[in-house]
Structure 1
Amino acid sequence: MRQNVIIEAVPEDLVHKLTKEKTGDSMQVGLNIKIKRIGRGYTQEEIADAIGVARSTYTRYESDKRLPDIYKLCALADYFDVSLDDLVGRDWKPKKDHKGRNIAIKPQPKCISA
């Protein structure tokens, strides 16, 4: 069950164009943050300011020319109100213990900083 579901107003043709450009990668951080930013109506400058990086650095994140460090990924996940798994495009799947029994590992909705 997913938490914090947000309907994003991203035109279907734009999503198709963006996903067509990015094929073959299992974790598409750049594509995911671009879709979330556009869907919420933010500019690159607004997101960059919110997470404390230059707009040019944020642009590199969206184009997958640079990968955000874990602290910036947490800041982005918090800003978009999604889990890190959702942000990096990782599907959550049930895990098995050493005896083959299903175990539940709940994704955390927010990053916790010290």
Structure 2
Amino acid sequence: MTELKKLVRRESIAAGLRSKRAIKKVTQREAAEEIGVTQTSLSSYENNGGISIEDAWAAADYYKCSLDELAGRTWPPKKEVV
């Protein structure tokens, strides 16, 4: 995977975390407590997406969504037109 693709995926996860929290109308501190991380960690995840799979699972559970949805991935994936 290229560095650009990795960066885009991290940005997608960060945006998904911010979006889900905004929809739920909770503070970072409130969401962090429910997810089981510190507010500082959640802030970092929301800004650069560098989240562990365990914390991503916990966030998806809290926001009641799939990891795909949290990361902005649609399913089934769109077929590329060549």
Structure 2 partner of 1:67: 50
Structure 2 partner of 1:85: 68
In structure 2, what is the Cα distance between the partners aligned to 1:26 and 1:43?
A: 24
Structure having the higher Rg: 1
TM-score, normalised to structure 2's length?
0.76
In structure 1, what is the Cα distance between the partners aligned to 2:16 and 2:63?
A: 11
User: How far off is 1:26 after superposition?
Assistant: 4.5
- Larger relative contact order (Cα-Cα within 8 Å, sequence gap ≥ 6): 2
AA aligned to 2:36 is G
> Tell me, which stretches of 5 or more residues in structure 1 are unaligned?
1-23, 95-114
- Same amino acid, percent of matched pairs: 34
In structure 2, what is the Cα distance between the partners aligned to 1:69 and 1:53?
A: 11
* Number of residue pairs matched by the alignment: 70
Q: Equivalent residues in 2 for 1:48-67 (5 A)?
A: 48-64=32-48, 66-67=49-50
Structure 2 partner of 1:47: 31
Answering whether residue 56 of structure 2 is matched by residue 35 of structure 1, we say no
> Tell me, which stretches of 5 or more residues in structure 2 are unaligned?
1-6, 78-82
